[in-house]
């Protein structure tokens, strides 16, 4: 256990020297969100509902954090639109579980997120 703790503290110390921009952090979060939804869709198509639920829950958690913890006022007038976007995607994830064609519902969300993820990763 001491070795594990030592390794964890070393990793944490190393991470404090990393310099990630807020845009890079958001891009990583959105990529994780995209992966979680894609994995939920794939699991549904494979009939693995327990895995689908786990991935969908992960996506819902990420969306909840994004929609409740970002400082949308910092985005100026576009902040309200961004908050609405996250809420719409979150609502879409919740509605997907109630629809007959779950995979199609997840695909719609993925299609919404794809250009957003791409934009966050583009060089400015």
Structure tokens at 3: 């070795």
- Is pLDDT larger for residue 34 or for residue 12? 34
Left if phi > 0, otherwise alpha if psi is -120 to 50, otherwise beta: which for 10? alpha
Residue with tokens 């990763």: 121
Per-residue pLDDT tens over the stretch 49-96: 999 999 999 999 999 999 988 888 988 888 899 999 999 999 999 898
Structure tokens at 15: 């991470």
Tell me which CATH code domain 1-10+21-121 carries.
1.20.120.340
**Domain chopping of the chain, boundaries:** 1-10+21-121
Dist. CA 100–CA 48, nearest whole Å: 16
User: Please, what is the angle between helix 102-121 and helix 22-45, to 10°?
Assistant: 160
């Amino acid at each position: 256990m001491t070795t594990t703790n030592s390794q964890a503290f070393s990793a944490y110390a190393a991470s404090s020297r990393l310099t990630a921009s807020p845009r890079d952090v958001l891009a990583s979060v959105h990529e994780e969100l995209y992966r979680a939804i894609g994995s939920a869709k794939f699991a549904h198509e494979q009939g693995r509902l327990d895995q689908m639920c786990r991935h969908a829950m992960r996506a819902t958690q990420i969306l909840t954090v994004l929609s409740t913890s970002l400082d949308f006022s910092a985005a100026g007038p576009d902040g309200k639109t961004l908050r609405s976007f996250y809420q719409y995607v979150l609502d879409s994830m919740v509605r997907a579980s109630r629809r007959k064609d779950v995979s199609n519902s997840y695909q719609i969300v993925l299609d919404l997120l794809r250009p957003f993820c791409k934009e966050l990763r583009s060089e400015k």
